[in-house]
């Protein structure tokens, strides 16, 4: 990313750190100690790095769910729903194909999860194109519906009778659980996330598809005049984003929880929105930003134990970063008028 896009983001992060520091100071906690502990909890040791990367894996994928459609000018916030459906589809596939060789089942689980997530967000894209339904509201409503469907299934048709306290599906058979990357205690989702992000970057910046998609994002009418298949581009890009989040769900089920239940609704989809915005919707930049937020999430436990800060401290920090970033983006528009002479009789608001 060019420097003039990185600097404002870093500035927003710095301002957020000051604001969050003042906030913890107000509740009687030393900000410097807080940040030192956050660093320790996120990147201080190999152990915390692994924790951070495990949390970064789904964040990369859910961030792509927002970042890919953003190239066409859409604001999609349905990553959480796509993740949940992806996880459900993975469990259903693994249970249905029990007995087949693991490579076949891995492939089927991945495809089923990506298809489920892709269908959800692709549907939001299709509604946008076909009916003019706002994709932000639609994807959010679809998320709540997907979560309800998941709860209904794990309480009903897919419930494992052995799961009493926390209704869950039957566990994924051991043979089909996804292991860790060689040499570290981080599951394969991280590698898949990085690969997906790289592929998304290549697709969006190095292919005619990506060029066409960015053209739609820049000026939909011009794109239509030029004869581009706007509808197809819209639906396919949304479906790709949904597939990424669906894959996150597959990995959460197959590598972390081992079964589908309400634990899948852990907020990765919503944090992914913030990751995408902070990465300025660039699929490559999503990777480091996801690692940063994986780290913030990973340090939550340490803050709770050592400083007695509620676990919501992480949410507060995320909220402050998001608000500061957006406010900073708006203020940036005013900077040129500081440098140059203000244009005469400019309207107050665009």
**Contact residue for other proteins among 155, 207, 222, 306 (CB under 8 A):** 155
The 8-class DSSP code of residue 256 comes to I
Tell me whether residue 151 or residue 214 sits nearer to other proteins (CB atom). Answer: 151
Q: What is the dihedral of CA 245, 246, 252, 254, to 10 degrees?
A: -150
Tell me whether residue 142 or residue 197 sits nearer to other proteins (CB atom). Answer: 142
The answer to whether 263 contacts other proteins (rule: CB under 8 A) is no
Work out how close the CB of 300 gets to other proteins at its nearest, in angstroms, rounded to a whole number. 11
Distance, CA of 214 to CA of 217 (rounded, Å): 5
Which segment (56-64, 211-219, 242-250, 323-331) binds other proteins by CB under 8 A? 323-331
Tell me whether residue 94 or residue 325 sits nearer to other proteins (CB atom). Answer: 325
* Subset of 268-287 contacting other proteins (CB under 8 A): 270, 273-274, 277
The answer to whether 227 contacts other proteins (rule: CB under 8 A) is no
Tell me whether residue 23 or residue 43 sits nearer to other proteins (CB atom). Answer: 23
Q: Which residues in 133-148 are b (16+ Cβ under 10 Å) and which e?
A: eebeebbbebbeebbe
Distance, CA of 140 to CA of 76 (rounded, Å): 8
The answer to whether 178 contacts other proteins (rule: CB under 8 A) is no
Rg (CA), the chain: 21
Tell me whether residue 184 or residue 326 sits nearer to other proteins (CB atom). Answer: 326
**Contact residue for other proteins among 107, 130, 218, 301 (CB under 8 A):** 130
Tell me whether residue 56 or residue 317 sits nearer to other proteins (CB atom). Answer: 317
Work out how close the CB of 330 gets to other proteins at its nearest, in angstroms, rounded to a whole number. 3
Answer for the pair 219, 138: CB distance below 8 angstroms, yes or no. no
The answer to whether 1 contacts other proteins (rule: CB under 8 A) is no
Closest C-alpha to 283, from 187, 214, 182, 188: 214
The residues, any chain, with a CB within 8 Å of residue 183's CB and separated by 6 or more, are: none
Answer for the pair 121, 239: CB distance below 8 angstroms, yes or no. yes
The answer to whether 188 contacts other proteins (rule: CB under 8 A) is no
Work out how close the CB of 221 gets to other proteins at its nearest, in angstroms, rounded to a whole number. 13
43-50 contacts, C-beta under 8 A, 24 or more apart: 43/295, 48/295, 48/298, 48/299, 50/184, 50/185, 50/186
The answer to whether 85 contacts other proteins (rule: CB under 8 A) is no
**Contact residue for other proteins among 83, 115, 140, 215 (CB under 8 A):** 140
Residue 341 is encoded by which pair of tokens?
């002479």
The answer to whether 222 contacts other proteins (rule: CB under 8 A) is no
The answer to whether 343 contacts other proteins (rule: CB under 8 A) is no
- Rounded to 5 degrees, what angle do the CA atoms 114, 139, 123 make? 55
Binding site for other proteins (CB under 8 A): 75, 77, 127, 129-134, 136-138, 140-142, 144-145, 147-149, 151-152, 155-156, 270, 273-274, 277, 309-320, 322-323, 325-327, 329-334, 347-350
């Amino acid at each position: 990313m060019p420097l003039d896009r990185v600097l404002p983001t870093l500035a927003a992060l710095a301002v957020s750190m000051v604001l969050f520091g003042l906030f913890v100071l107000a509740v009687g906690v030393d900000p410097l100690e807080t940040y030192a502990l956050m660093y320790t909890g996120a990147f201080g040791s190999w152990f915390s790095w692994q924790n951070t990367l495990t949390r970064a894996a789904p964040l990369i994928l859910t961030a792509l769910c927002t970042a890919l459609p953003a190239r066409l000018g859409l604001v999609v916030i349905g990553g959480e729903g796509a993740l949940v459906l992806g996880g459900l589809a993975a469990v259903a596939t693994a249970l249905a194909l029990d007995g087949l060789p693991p490579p076949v089942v891995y492939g089927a689980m991945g495809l089923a999860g990506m298809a489920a997530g892709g269908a959800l967000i692709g549907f939001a894209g299709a509604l946008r194109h076909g009916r003019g339904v706002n994709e932000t509201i639609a994807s959010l409503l679809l998320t709540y519906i997907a979560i309800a469907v998941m709860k209904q299934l794990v309480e009903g048709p897919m419930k494992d009778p052995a799961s009493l306290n926390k209704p869950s599906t039957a566990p994924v058979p051991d043979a089909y659980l996804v292991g860790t990357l060689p040499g570290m205690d981080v599951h394969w989702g991280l590698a898949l996330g990085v690969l997906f992000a790289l592929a998304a970057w290549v697709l969006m910046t190095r292919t005619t598809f990506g060029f066409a998609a960015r053209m739609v994002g820049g000026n939909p009418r011009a794109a239509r005049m030029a004869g581009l298949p706007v509808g197809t581009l819209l639906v396919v890009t949304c479906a790709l984003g949904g597939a990424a989040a669906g894959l996150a769900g597959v990995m959460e089920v197959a590598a972390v929880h081992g079964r589908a239940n309400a634990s899948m609704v852990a907020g990765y989809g919503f944090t992914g929105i913030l990751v995408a915005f902070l990465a300025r919707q660039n699929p490559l930049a999503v990777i480091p930003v996801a690692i940063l937020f994986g780290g913030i999430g990973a340090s939550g436990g340490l803050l709770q134990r050592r400083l007695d800060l509620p676990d919501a401290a992480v949410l507060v920090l995320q909220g402050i970063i998001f608000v500061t970033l957006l406010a900073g983006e708006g203020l940036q528009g005013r900077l040129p008028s500081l440098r140059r002479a203000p244009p005469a009789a400019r309207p107050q608001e665009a």
